[in-house]
Structure 1
């Protein structure tokens, strides 16, 4: 094909520079929780302190202040580091001129965090900083919202203002970043599975758990300390953070210590430890011995990046009997090219990165997949319940793993099916505390039995204990009818009521 040479008769420049507000609105709201946003602000302080830990004049202390303003929360992160020498670079999107450790991998953290708290035109944030040069001149520097690209008369350039004194910074050098977050957004720190409303104190507790988990390796193995100041109703409460570590089951742990490795980008050190953990009831989110908080946990230099990766390593979903199994892997290196790339939010790794694939392969090669416990707590309880029903003279048929929805070929089974002389009862068993989904699962089995022409007179959800939401849902479902027109009859029971002892914490 002959390509015709064309000479343009005119040209014009594309004006595609965004406004500061437009850019902020575009990069904000990529986090699932304000707790993750706060970690972004903490990362900058941690990175600075780690990179300059040999300077005896610095304070290795990071303070998070959370002030309840009613309709908003004032979030402030203050450190005793070196201060920010170049505020222009720090506020330039994707600029890594000031990067000091792999925590500054993207050049997005500070801007991303500020925009995610509030990208509205009324945004309120400020940065106060003091370097050694500032301290020698008895000054500090400050820049305030709104974020601007300086692209028009309406989008005027941001200015760094110089003031005499310390600016209330608690150390000779350091930085304090403050941003106002609407209370409605701040409430995202509450985990979705926590149905009950939370007051400000409980919201702060969720953030504290997040920080103790995310920075556990840093709190445990570096001189950096962290505090959270909770301010509400004129009262201030100080919380000194300790690392949130799993409680390992005695005799189950294998610790490889430090192993040299190269994942394709240069040498690094892998710290690997695995075994079974015990449930910690004081935790709201982590180390709960469930699918979300077990499996494989990956960190970089002590900072948590991603967890719950069982299926990514071994190619199958974690089995409930494996929920206590945990693998902790910490990658130690100050060379970013040696480490798998993280996403901008630092809440996961980039899946296509070959260094990540090599890491997952390393784990699969050196950590044995835990055996599925065919004799799980739940199964042992069901066996005991089955034996009790088989000894009941009014029970004509007792069947475990009874198929339902057979007429449509669905492979679903109810834990226990009992045909009495005068009724049919089915059981769905859970070892621990129930949730609403368990009751809906039982409802599905009732519907399946109805479609199979095995109508159920009573459906029992049996567990160690039942949540308030399950009890409320039971009452609602009992006002409805099954596909065969028969009213539902759901009942809640406990293993204690059946005289069955839970021999292991579930």
Structure 2
């Protein structure tokens, strides 16, 4: 580091323009570059204070770019810290795991600018009067200028004065649009769909990877387990404590975990010993049916209790049918909270039996819990709706649909 004159300093960077252009081709999307800078901001938060981060977009100087501003009110950097931060693979300072590799600023600036667009970094150590400004693209020798305040686009106003660090980055539109999947509309997935199958891996307060399925589990043929609707209900988290830097490492650009790390391989080997269930809810409900059949037969061993009765031309199977001397009771058992559709399933079973000439006497939905609105819906079906006539044209009995909980039926 050399001092050119009072307000300028020279920093030697261990990177060439060709290397910097190479970093820009690491498949790091716009939002990942922004989050890299946010991670640095969180790591720079002052002791006892929460990190305050500002992210803003403004028109760029060219039509094919946006100006991205990321600011924080953390500890900032002095000249020696700034020189270290700009080195490729610089030694991380402090113990914060967010400063894991020493590639963060280089990766983010390379990816967000496409390798050759301008950027400016303003920073000041806590208590310093002015700012240190360095601007790119990167060259082997960078000039640091002492300035009074960061130069921000007039369209953006920071929520607080005197930030610790500010980045102003010219981002090509093609890179900015990567936040929507290379120009496609943004996609939002509800849990219980193929994109969300698997487990999220949370390390401390940070999610390292999401929807890990084929990365961990394999099918009977030894190949990575393929996403299939059978696994829509397999959604969970692997919760890991905050660990020292270097344990369970991430990639240098922090876009994913490091699959070559033996620690991750050992963890995945342990997880692979517990394969995900296909249709876990169905498995649970099948167990409920078996337990309920056993309970019914224990009380009335003379009854005919079956889970093989089907109705309608589709062969729709009734969960449980209990037939005695003067009763014929339909049961629908669910592992989740009662829903309107469940009542309509009971009505469908009832109607199907009547059309086959079999008269039900009662239909019961057994669920962990249900709302008063659902109970009112059952009452309306019983009071207001008319079941079909029997095959000979005679009227059938009115609906008699009831609700019960697992606890009430000793199934909890």
TM-score (norm: length of structure 2): 0.56
Equivalent position to 1:315, from 218, 221, 230: 218
Q: Which residue of 2 aligns with 1:131?
A: 125
Do 1:297 and 1:308's aligned partners in 2 also have CA atoms closer than 8 Å?
yes
Q: Which residue of 1 aligns with 2:22?
A: 26
Instruction: Confirm or deny that 1:298 pairs with 2:201.
Output: yes
Instruction: Confirm or deny that 1:387 pairs with 2:294.
Output: no
Separation in structure 1 between the aligned mates of residue 259 and residue 238 of structure 2, nearest angstrom:
17
5 Å-filtered alignment, 1:80-229, equals 80-85=73-78, 86-121=81-116, 123-134=117-128, 138-149=129-140, 157-164=141-148, 170-172=160-162, 174-191=164-181, 195=184
Q: Which residue of 2 aligns with 1:469?
A: none
Separation in structure 2 between the aligned mates of residue 385 and residue 43 of structure 1, nearest angstrom:
59
Separation in structure 1 between the aligned mates of residue 313 and residue 28 of structure 2, nearest angstrom:
43
Separation in structure 2 between the aligned mates of residue 164 and residue 342 of structure 1, nearest angstrom:
37
Q: Which residue of 1 aligns with 2:55?
A: 64
Deviation of the 1:343 alpha carbon: 0.9
The Cα RMSD (Å) is 3.2
Secondary structure of the residue aligned to 2:170 is strand
Aligned residues: 262
- The higher radius of gyration belongs to 2
Separation in structure 2 between the aligned mates of residue 46 and residue 384 of structure 1, nearest angstrom:
61
Q: 1:35/1:97 Cα in 2 relative to 1: closer, same or farther (>3 Å)? A: closer
Unaligned residue ranges in structure 2 (runs of 5+): 1-12, 153-157, 220-224, 284-309, 316-412
5 Å-filtered alignment, 1:275-286, equals 284-286=187-189
Separation in structure 2 between the aligned mates of residue 386 and residue 358 of structure 1, nearest angstrom:
52
Separation in structure 2 between the aligned mates of residue 385 and residue 131 of structure 1, nearest angstrom:
76
5 Å-filtered alignment, 1:418-437, equals none
Q: 1:308/1:164 Cα in 2 relative to 1: closer, same or farther (>3 Å)? A: closer
Do 1:96 and 1:104's aligned partners in 2 also have CA atoms closer than 8 Å?
no
Equivalent position to 1:343, from 251, 257, 261: 251
Instruction: Confirm or deny that 1:327 pairs with 2:232.
Output: no
Do 2:233 and 2:280's aligned partners in 1 also have CA atoms closer than 8 Å?
no
Q: Which residue of 1 aligns with 2:276?
A: 369
Do 1:130 and 1:166's aligned partners in 2 also have CA atoms closer than 8 Å?
no
Q: Which residue of 2 aligns with 1:352?
A: 260
Do 1:101 and 1:334's aligned partners in 2 also have CA atoms closer than 8 Å?
no
Question: Structure 1 residue runs of 4+, over 6 Å off?
Answer: 166-169, 383-386
5 Å-filtered alignment, 1:482-493, equals none
Q: Which residue of 1 aligns with 2:38?
A: 42
Deviation of the 1:298 alpha carbon: 1.0
Deviation of the 1:88 alpha carbon: 0.5
Unaligned residue ranges in structure 1 (runs of 5+): 1-16, 150-156, 199-205, 207-283, 377-382, 389-506
